[in-house]
Amino acid sequence: MAITVSLVGLFGLVLFFLLRSKTLGWGSAFIAMMFGFFLASTGASGPINQLTHAVIDAIGNL
């Protein structure tokens, strides 16, 4: 679990700087994919799914 959280932090930081410098390409797509993959295996996946469902339900009720 500790390795997964640190990889999420590492890939998130790299993705942040790639997006900030507007350097978008195959490398940043890989970084974004790996960030999402490791983020899904942390405890943050449950709240993220709940938030996504809440937003979708709210949009449907507009």
pLDDT digits (tens, 9 = 90+) for 21-54: 876 677 777 777 777 777 777 777 778 778 878 8
pLDDT value of residue 5:
62
Pick the more confident residue, 27 or 59: 59
State the residue for tokens 């507009």.
Answer: 62
- 25 token code pair: 């390409």
In sequence order, the 6+-apart residues with CB closer than 8 A to the CB of 21 are: none
Residue 8 carries which side chain, given as an amino acid letter?
V
